[in-house]
């Protein structure tokens, strides 16, 4: 449990370097078990999801040396296929161990994954693909038991461009017999990062970033190499929102501008300048509303930024509409924002939010986090409010993705601290 105490009303201004991406490092860590060589991972974020994933790797028999943002991982002596239940339940991302362990050990025992409660989080696309590649999968109570001979490459047409399923199939295909083609693959930048990592390992993966990915199975993978994790585009975008909502300005100096939904910051009236891997944003005097914004798969508006924009549009000059198309329960922040006077209505099917921007939001010491990005959305709206807010992060969701949100925002002139227990 962490209580964040924020004295809002200050402009968020300054320059910041963004940490490594949670949603890139997690599949890359699972991919490490494909390799018999030693891997040095740089720019690895110090977040609890990484802590838990490293515990899984060690329990599987990997040797890990950790020095702040640098990890040295050796999977040569991997001797288990069993993902411990308590850790698998912690994180949705544990599901991608299926593909890599089946590749390496031809066996995996895992519990149905946990993670942020965002609604149904089925894994049918993962299971169907692995079965098509030759896995034999049984569900016994809450365990998933998979065995296979050598997996075989095939054509997999995803009915939805699932990020996790795309990653799982890639990891399953790297050591399979023959070629695997993924149709309707997810195009998120984190998929490109995974491909770049695997290619350095000696795997034959092509097409990441497009909706067709090809993987040609190889006999084995055994390389010593190093790799630097991409910066976190969702955290970068969240800090752009922090400046936008407080009439501030911010320079992000290590990000790929094309990975950010900058057009939406222009729509709300921000001035944005980009130069190579830097983005500068100047907030407007007043936030313009957005008639209609819907979340979608990349390159659409990222669902992981929906809660942050919900906070931002709660103080816009007029009416905005947000439609959440990816997760069917990513609306719980509305109940927290209503505690501070936000004027938000939610449709019957809980997918559409009608936001009438108001300026008279009021402080609260009783804001509760429901998931990682929702928690960040509450921090951002507290930065706007001229007063003191307390955010009760009972399950430490924010630390799952942010190395140190207090350090980062104080560097940007915020007044935020952690309250003693
Ligand atoms: C990844 O989750 C991210 N997590 C999520 O970030 C992100 O919101 C999501 O991709 C979408 O971009 C990690 O990378 C660790 P999906 P994932 O499979 O892989 C349905 C965060 O806050 N679906 O693309 O679970 C599913 O129900 C987290 O950092 C199926 O129907 O996302 C959902 O509606 C939250 N069957 C949609 O696809 C399946 O087999 C998106 O899921 C798999 C998914």
| Mean pLDDT, 10 residues at a time, the chain of 421 residues | 97 98 98 97 97 95 97 96 85 88 95 74 94 96 92 98 98 98 98 98 98 98 98 98 98 96 98 97 98 98 98 98 96 97 96 97 97 98 98 96 98 96 67
Where along the chain do its domains lie?
2-18+231-420, 22-228
Nearest CA owner, ligand 1 atom 6:
304
| Cα–ligand 1 centroid distance for 269 (angstroms) | 30
3-state secondary structure at position 409: helix
Report whether residue 26 contacts ligand 1, using a CB cutoff of 6 Å. yes
CB of 327 shorter than 6 A to ligand 1: yes
Q: What is the CATH number of domain 2-18+231-420?
A: 3.65.10.10
pLDDT at 288: 98
Name the residue at shortest CA distance from atom 42 of ligand 1.
162
According to the model, what pLDDT value does residue 90 have?
75
Pocket test for ligand 1, best of 163, 211, 261, 374 (most atoms within 8 A of CB): 163
The per-residue pLDDT for 14 is 98
Ligand 1 center–CA 6 separation, angstroms: 31
Superfamily of domain 22-228: Enolpyruvate transferase domain (3.65.10.10)
Q: Are 372 and 401 in contact (CB under 8 A)?
A: yes
* Pocket flag, ligand 1, residue 124 (CB < 6 Å): yes
Residue 116 among the catalytic residues: yes
The one catalytic residue in 32, 44, 116, 148 is: 116
- The pTM of this model reads 0.97
d(CA 266, CA 293): 13
| Residues, the chain | 421
Ligand 1 touching residue 161 (CB < 6 A) = no
Distance, CA 389 to ligand 1 centroid (Å)? 31
Select from 31, 50, 160, 230 the residue to mutate for testing ligand 1; criterion: most ligand atoms less than 8 Å from CB. Answer: 160
Pocket of ligand 1 contains residue 299 by CB under 6 Å: no
- Same CATH topology for 2-18+231-420 and 22-228? yes
> Mind spelling out the 3-state secondary structure of 76-133?
CCCCCCECCHHHHCCCHHHHHHHHHHHHHHCEEEEECCCCCCCCCCCCHHHHHHHHHC
Instruction: Give CA–CA dist 398/196, Å, rounded.
Output: 28
Ligand 1 lined by 372 (C-beta under 6 Å): yes
In the prediction, which pLDDT does 115 show?
64
What per-residue confidence (pLDDT) applies to 91?
78
Q: In what order do the strands lie in the sheet with 155-157?
A: 155-157, 179-183, 212-216, 204-206
């Amino acid at each position: 449990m962490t209580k964040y105490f924020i004295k809002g009303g200050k402009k968020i201004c300054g320059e910041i370097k963004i940490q490594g991406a949670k949603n890139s490092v997690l599949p890359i860590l699972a991919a490490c078990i494909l390799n018999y060589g030693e891997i040095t991972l740089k720019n690895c974020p110090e977040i609890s999801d990484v802590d838990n994933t490293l515990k899984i790797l060690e329990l599987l028999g990997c040797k890990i040396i950790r020095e702040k943002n640098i990890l040295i991982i050796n999977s040569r002596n991997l001797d288990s296929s069993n993902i411990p239940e308590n850790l698998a339940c912690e994180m949705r991302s544990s599901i991608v161990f299926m593909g890599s362990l089946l590749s390496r050990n031809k066996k995996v025992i895992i519990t149905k994954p946990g993670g942020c409660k965002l609604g149904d989080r089925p894994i049918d696309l993962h299971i169907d693909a692995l079965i098509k590649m030759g896995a034999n999968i049984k569900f016994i109570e809450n365990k998933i038991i998979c065995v296979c001979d050598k997996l075989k490459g095939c054509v997999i047409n995803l009915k939805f461009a699932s990020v996790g399923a795309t990653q799982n199939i890639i990891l399953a295909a790297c050591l399979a017999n023959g070629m695997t083609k993924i149709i309707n693959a997810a195009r998120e930048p984190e998929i490109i990062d995974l491909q770049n990592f695997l290619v350095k390992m000696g795997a034959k993966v092509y097409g990441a970033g497009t909706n067709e990915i090809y993987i040609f199975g190889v006999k084995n993978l055994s390389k010593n190499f190093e790799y630097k994790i991409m910066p976190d585009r969702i955290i970068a975008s969240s800090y752009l929102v922090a400046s936008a909502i407080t009439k501030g300005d911010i320079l992000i100096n290590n990000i790929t501008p094309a990975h950010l939904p900058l057009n939406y910051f222009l729509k709300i009236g921000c001035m944005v300048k980009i130069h190579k891997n830097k983005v500068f944003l100047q907030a407007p005097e007043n936030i313009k509303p957005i008639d209609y914004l819907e979340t979608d798969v990349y390159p659409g508006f990222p669902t992981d930024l929906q809660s942050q924009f919900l906070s931002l549009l709660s103080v816009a000059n007029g009416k905005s509409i947000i439609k959440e198309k990816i997760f069917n329960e990513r609306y719980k922040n509305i109940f927290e924002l209503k505690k501070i006077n936000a004027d938000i209505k939610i449709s019957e099917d809980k997918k559409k939010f009608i936001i009438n921007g108001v300026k008279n939001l009021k402080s609260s010491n009783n804001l509760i986090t429901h998931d990682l990005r929702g928690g960040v959305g509450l921090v951002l709206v507290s930065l706007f409010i001229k007063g003191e807010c307390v955010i009760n992060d009972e399950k430490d969701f924010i630390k799952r993705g942010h190395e140190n949100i207090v350090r980062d925002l104080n560097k940007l002139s915020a007044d935020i601290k952690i309250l003693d227990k």
